[in-house]
Structure 1
């Protein structure tokens, strides 16, 4: 997620075209072990820095096919701030199917080996080194959400924009759709608090519907918004209107 007032987190986050990525979910709640196992943490180690040297960072995302994770496009940017179709760090590892990164067991830690960038949204697809067979991918919806719809968000981001650092436990919260534009949604915090919002390192985290008696459906990913926590509008990148590109890229058509 990108927040103008989160400059202090710049060294720890990924700089995105003058915007700063989000962290873990502020004023959300811990996810119970085993829930939302498609949720993904991307750990980047050794990202080149303009002028020399490296830094580390992280993003969130979701498994949407056996060998593909969706996340924010700005999570893969070179030292000049340009979105690229390759892992930019010396190592980018996707952790999938593990709720607690300290005490949890099971799940997968897999290297990202390829990246594809959407031409129309702040969305990227990251290919895993090998397929995963024991985690159900998150379904990609091609139906736009409506104003008033309630969406759930999961992420491993920071809990605040102040001294931001990635969380070690998956968090979640609900936000309400306030508006739609061609490339983004406008959403505001709803539950468990009105200021439940993405933070740094939540960039790429999935926003999804939870239809009654049906599997969850992805409609957007964390892209940018104010410093967290806040009660203003977040602007996640829509995925429903690029669903055909997503399916073509990951071979589901």
Structure 2
């Protein structure tokens, strides 16, 4: 099982070469998100992350806008040099891209993360933005417990493959279903376009949600945490948001 972040600048460089040679993609065996949909889906890019040997590296995560000035993502996306999750001022420069399905000059909106709050209950963090986003409809937090068999959507900026992974320049989606439920987590499995549709490296924090009919918003069910190398047909571990809904509301009100 692997957390859905990657650790080295070398992997990013290798992935950049891969992206230049083939169409960009994310969410293994997923499909393109149509232009204009899921504007709340966030791409987090972190730089100069310290390592124990004194060197630094770059990495990334996915997430979602849940309030004008707050992004929800995986707790392990923000950590100290020993990879312990931390709260407080953002530990390294992290930018957030919103409002676009393609990363390119002039597309979408960019913000910076200023502060981080760890849920503690599960692998979830709230990231505060340096200024509000007022023209994108946030996802609402579903306060009802998920149900086995429930159909949900995954949207993320992660890699297409676990081999030489790199953050995507294209937002991807997949149809998923809830396969198992625990106290603080939800197991999900791929449904469409394939049963092997699955989250991948750099999808940490990606939202699993029930979208509105027009694709502008929806209800957040869980966020990506960890799973087997992608693509795969096994259950992916995601963090429930209904069990921390009050905590989220308190800090994002």
**TM-score when scaled to structure 1?**
0.89
> Is the 1:25–1:158 Cα contact (8 Å) retained in structure 2?
yes
Cα offset for 1:87? Answer: 1.8
Can you list the C-alpha shifts for 1:189-245, whole angstroms capped at 9, x where unaligned?
110100000000000000002366895100100001100000011010111111000
Residues 26 and 170 of structure 2 are in contact (CA less than 8 Å); yes or no, is this contact kept in structure 1? no
State the alpha-carbon separation in 1 of the partners of residues 201 and 125 from structure 2.
17
The equivalent of 1:221 in structure 2 is: 223
Pairs within 5 Å for 1:13-32: 24-32=26-34
Shift of 1:88: 2.1
CA contact (8 A) 1:59 1:157 kept: yes
Root-mean-square deviation (CA), in Å? 2.0
Whole-angstrom distance in 2 between the partners of 1:249 and 1:122: 17
Does residue 88 of structure 1 match 2:105? Answer: no
Could you say which residue in structure 1 is the equivalent of 2:242? 240
Deviations 1:48-90 (Å, cap 9, x if unpaired)? Answer: 111201100000000000000000000001111110013222x
- Report the CA distance between 1:3 and its aligned residue: 2.1
Q: Give how far 1:106 is off.
A: 3.9
Give the match for residue 171 of structure 2: 170
| Equivalences for residues 1-253 of structure 1 within 5 A | 3=2, 9-11=6-8, 24-85=26-87, 86-89=89-92, 91-102=93-104, 105-210=106-211, 215-251=217-253
Q: Deviations over 1:133-167 (max 9, x none)?
A: 11111111101111001110000000011100011
C-alpha change, 1:87 and 1:132, in structure 2 (3 Å) is same
* Cα distance change of structure 1 residues 239 and 197 upon mapping to structure 2, 3 Å threshold: same
Structure 2 distance, partners of 1:126, 1:46, is 18
Distance in 1 (CA, whole Å) between partners of 2:2 and 2:214 is: 36
**Alpha-carbon distance between aligned partners in 1 of 2:193 and 2:30, rounded to the nearest angstrom:** 6
**Counterparts of 1:212 and 1:39, CA distance in 2:** 16
> Residues 131 and 43 (structure 1 numbering): CA distance in 2 closer, same or farther, change over 3 Å?
same
What SS does the corresponding residue of 1:157 show, helix, strand or coil? Answer: coil
Following the alignment from structure 1 to structure 2, what is the Cα–Cα distance between the partners of residues 63 and 144?
21
Q: Which structure 2 residue ranges, 5 or more long, are not aligned?
A: 12-24
Structure 1 runs of 4+ with >4 Å offset: 211-215
2:181 and 2:50 map into 1 onto residues whose CA distance is 35
